[in-house]
Structure 1
Amino acid sequence: MSVSASDAEFEQLKAELDAWVRGPGEEWSERIEELGDVPAELYAELRDRGWLSLAAPEELGGRGIPFARYLELLEIVSRSHGSIRMLVHVNNGLWRAMAPFVDDAQREVLKRAVSGEELVAFTLTEATAGTGADIRSTVRRDGDVYLLNGEKHLITFGVKADRWLLFARLEGSSGAEGTVALLVPNSGLPGAEVIDDSDTMGVRGTDHAILRFSDTPVPVSARIGAEGEGLAVALGGFLLPSRVSVAMSCVGLAERAQELAASYALTRTTFGKTLAERPVIQAYLAENYADIVAARALVLEAARAYERSAPDAAALSSASKIVAVDMLGRVTDRALQIHGGQGYWRRNAIERVYRDARAQRFEEGTNEIQKTVVARAVLATARARTATP
């Protein structure tokens, strides 16, 4: 499917995804929970179905589906296991960071990432740093190599990735100045240590890594963009749309929680009545519905703002994540409450959904960070209005 594909083709793709999520996807979900790992066969299936390359442009080997429409597909995938959603989300978004900066040789690597032939891990977060401008990992140049030092943590796919899209700074630099982006192969580099840190509360099966580097040699040719453009690579093309994508992931997972709650309410009987007949349960389901549709509308508005490069796109991106994350917390809590004690047992899908939902609160930046972004935009608008005669 391409940008010019018909609405009928798009609806067919949505139906195909939905059928997979409710059938094979649910079987894969149970297997992931049992193994605590995402089998290589699942990754291959997602790749072969073309679901890892939905959003990238056709010249990179993707299907070229516009962002807002892609989010409708991610919404469906997000009703599945958190690790399945994570694979689809990251593979369909990471190209945005790299594409504006890669040279010809790196573009071939990027195409392999888009197709799913190679897995690239976004490697920004550090234990002692927060927003990106304060990263402490450093490089110093020695001829045609950089010597990399530092530590990264909470790196999704950091263990299994073929390459890390890694961000550091030139020794002695501060702030955004001197930051660099490096496409580093995960192939037993000298001085590189990969620690599996995958034992998480939710989104079981997705591997996470702690990475430590001690004078690890990285070719200067692995740099993406110029020295000083590291944060432009990290923040400009990836995090803004990725935050909107995470917000839509919250919507999809909330929809799954609502489905499970409504189904349980129709079948569970107490004192001669189904739960669905009880006003308090009806109120929970109504509140969930209102929460979900309101969040979804804001997410799609943020997506459209991003597509047209609107001045408020960044603020809307962060606002959509604030609203969607808070919504998901309320919806999954009510859904679990409708299940009563049964919902606390792992044999019931709502238990997994509840655990997976908690991860969204810090993915692509906590709500505390998002509120800072939104507040800056609000105050900038107020200052401009005040300055206008």
Structure 2
Amino acid sequence: MTDSERFDQLRTQVERWVEGPGERWAERIEETGHVPEALWSELNRLGFLRIAAPVEYGGHGVEFARWMELMEIFSRSHGSIRMIVHVVNGIWRAMDGHATPKQRQRFVIPSVDGRIKIAFTLTEPGNGTGADITTSVVRDGDTYYLSGRKHLITFGMRCDHYLLAARVDGTTGRDGIVALLVPRSAPGLTAEDTSNTMGVIGTDHASLTFDRTPVPVANRLGAEGEGLDVFLGGFLTPSRISVAMSCVGLAQRAQELAFSYASSRVTFGKNLTQRQAIQFMLAENAADIEASRQLVLRAAHCFQQGGDDASMLSSMAKMHAVSMLTTVTDKALQIHGGLGYWRSQKIERVYRDARAQRFEEGTNEVQKAVIFRELLHRSQARPGVAR
């Protein structure tokens, strides 16, 4: 069997699961407000949490751009299902590039095969998500003592370890940042459940406080000063592409729901699809979705090939896809009329879940800043350009 045939089989398996068991899980999550551990176990058993991981780690070894094709399908499901698949299929990548062989056996491979859960832990309540972080560590021999706060930490209540960015006390800028794997059970760590969100119901989130929490120096990925490379290059660039593709998948779901409703809804003796205003909405949605899909795939291929434009394209893709999703879901809800506002309609859930994409992996304002920085760098690098 060729790689293409194996991928086609996997794609069919994902489609069938999303449309069948995945939809039943979505209904259960909405009813209970909770993602049960049984769902994690099922996703792991089916191999859906290691699609992008290398074969030698127990993964499927699917290339990143092809993995994004599957990410689109998963994103048509419930927001919490998409979140699990998105994070677990990406966090191994952040660790792997800086892990020692021993760390690979302790953290990377167990995260791929489902033995442990690791939460990405960067954002702070009083800072941005880059070199301005203030959560700090003081080293004493073979131990770091960690103090500070983190918030909006996805899976922060159910994880086994936090992949956490901190600053060596007394340093400034990116040169003093370290990436640490902090045990969930470490002394001096307090986790507050902050999971009561508008959408993406069931995904747990936490606010964390550290009071001289001891962390072995052996749990540091890379050297001191390489922490942002772990978080920004190892995780954030591919994650932005993945979030952008999740916008495409969710928009496609909204479009399908709107088309189905418009095809069956009759007003004054005509289906809504016979009315030009609705036809134009659906046509515009289709074009907008496809434009975003192609930009995301371009960014995915660039990242896969190690291209210099990967960071800029990831921000372009995320920015464009979020704006597209906002427009598409709004039109899809409008096509449903007043009925779309009721929880009995699936479009209502899609509309709520879509709002989370506006800030996940950085707001559009952040993406614009990244894009402009890259444009400015290129301009300054060109000889003869006036400055």
Return the TM-score normalized by structure 1.
0.97
Query: Cα offset for 1:5?
Result: 4.3
- Three-state SS of the structure 2 residue aligned to 1:363 is coil
Q: In the alignment, what sits opposite 1:304?
A: 301
Q: CA RMSD in A?
A: 1.2
Q: In the alignment, what sits opposite 2:288?
A: 291
Q: In the alignment, what sits opposite 2:119?
A: 121
Q: In the alignment, what sits opposite 2:337?
A: 340
Q: Summarize the alignment of residues 44-123 of structure 1 with structure 2, pairs less than 5 Å apart.
A: 44-108=41-105, 109-123=107-121
Q: Summarize the alignment of residues 239-388 of structure 1 with structure 2, pairs less than 5 Å apart.
A: 239-387=236-384
Which moved further from structure 2: 150-159 or 7-16? 7-16
- Three-state SS of the structure 2 residue aligned to 1:387 is coil
Which moved further from structure 2: 133-142 or 218-227? 218-227
Q: In the alignment, what sits opposite 2:28?
A: 31
Q: In the alignment, what sits opposite 1:8?
A: 5
Could you say if the C-alpha distance between residues 268 and 166 of structure 1 is closer, same or farther in structure 2, counting changes exceeding 3 Å? same
Residues 356-381 of structure 1: per-residue CA shift (max 9 Å, x gap):
00001111111101101111112222
Query: Cα offset for 1:6?
Result: 2.7
Give the residue type in structure 2 aligned to 1:27. Answer: R
Q: Give the Cα separation in 2 of the matches to 1:183 and 1:89.
A: 20
- Three-state SS of the structure 1 residue aligned to 2:382 is helix
Give the residue type in structure 1 aligned to 2:272. Answer: L
Equivalent position to 2:149, from 144, 151, 154: 151
Which moved further from structure 2: 204-213 or 375-384? 375-384
Structure 1: any 5+ residue segments left out of the alignment?
none
Q: Give the Cα separation in 2 of the matches to 1:388 and 1:153.
A: 43
Query: Cα offset for 1:383?
Result: 2.5
Equivalent position to 1:164, from 162, 165, 173: 162
Which moved further from structure 2: 329-338 or 214-223? 214-223
* 2:379 and 2:385 in contact (8 A); partners too: no
Query: Cα offset for 1:105?
Result: 2.3
- Three-state SS of the structure 2 residue aligned to 1:94 is helix
- Three-state SS of the structure 1 residue aligned to 2:167 is strand
Give the residue type in structure 2 aligned to 1:97. Answer: A
Task: Please say if 1:197 is aligned against 2:199.
Answer: no
Query: Cα offset for 1:143?
Result: 2.1
Q: In the alignment, what sits opposite 2:235?
A: 238
Query: Cα offset for 1:8?
Result: 2.1
Query: Cα offset for 1:297?
Result: 0.4
Equivalent residue pairs, number: 385
Give the residue type in structure 1 aligned to 2:251. Answer: A
Q: In the alignment, what sits opposite 1:21?
A: 18
Q: Give the Cα separation in 1 of the matches to 2:263 and 2:325.
A: 22
Q: Give the Cα separation in 1 of the matches to 2:209 and 2:102.
A: 27
Query: Cα offset for 1:13?
Result: 1.2
Q: In the alignment, what sits opposite 2:216?
A: 219
Q: Give the Cα separation in 2 of the matches to 1:103 and 1:5.
A: 33
Query: Cα offset for 1:29?
Result: 0.2
Q: Give the Cα separation in 2 of the matches to 1:5 and 1:66.
A: 14
Task: Please say if 1:184 is aligned against 2:182.
Answer: yes
Query: Cα offset for 1:299?
Result: 0.4
- Three-state SS of the structure 1 residue aligned to 2:336 is helix
Q: Give the Cα separation in 1 of the matches to 2:208 and 2:199.
A: 21
Q: Give the Cα separation in 2 of the matches to 1:144 and 1:302.
A: 41
Structure 2: any 5+ residue segments left out of the alignment?
none
Give the residue type in structure 2 aligned to 1:353. Answer: V
Q: Give the Cα separation in 2 of the matches to 1:214 and 1:57.
A: 37
Residues 287-324 of structure 1: per-residue CA shift (max 9 Å, x gap):
00000000000000111111112221111110000110
- Three-state SS of the structure 2 residue aligned to 1:379 is helix
Residues 101-153 of structure 1: per-residue CA shift (max 9 Å, x gap):
11222111210101122110000000111131000100001222111100000
Q: Give the Cα separation in 2 of the matches to 1:285 and 1:37.
A: 33
Give me the identity figure in percent.
60
Q: Give the Cα separation in 1 of the matches to 2:238 and 2:95.
A: 14
Q: Give the Cα separation in 1 of the matches to 2:22 and 2:240.
A: 24
Q: Give the Cα separation in 1 of the matches to 2:22 and 2:359.
A: 25
Q: Give the Cα separation in 2 of the matches to 1:305 and 1:215.
A: 41
Q: Give the Cα separation in 2 of the matches to 1:22 and 1:64.
A: 24
Query: Cα offset for 1:248?
Result: 0.3
Which moved further from structure 2: 231-240 or 196-205? 231-240
- Three-state SS of the structure 2 residue aligned to 1:139 is strand
Q: Give the Cα separation in 2 of the matches to 1:387 and 1:66.
A: 40
Q: Give the Cα separation in 2 of the matches to 1:113 and 1:332.
A: 34
Return the TM-score normalized by structure 2.
0.97
Residues 198-235 of structure 1: per-residue CA shift (max 9 Å, x gap):
00000000000000001111111111111111111111
Q: Give the Cα separation in 1 of the matches to 2:302 and 2:2.
A: 22
Give the residue type in structure 2 aligned to 1:131. Answer: T
Q: In the alignment, what sits opposite 1:137?
A: 135
- Three-state SS of the structure 2 residue aligned to 1:167 is strand
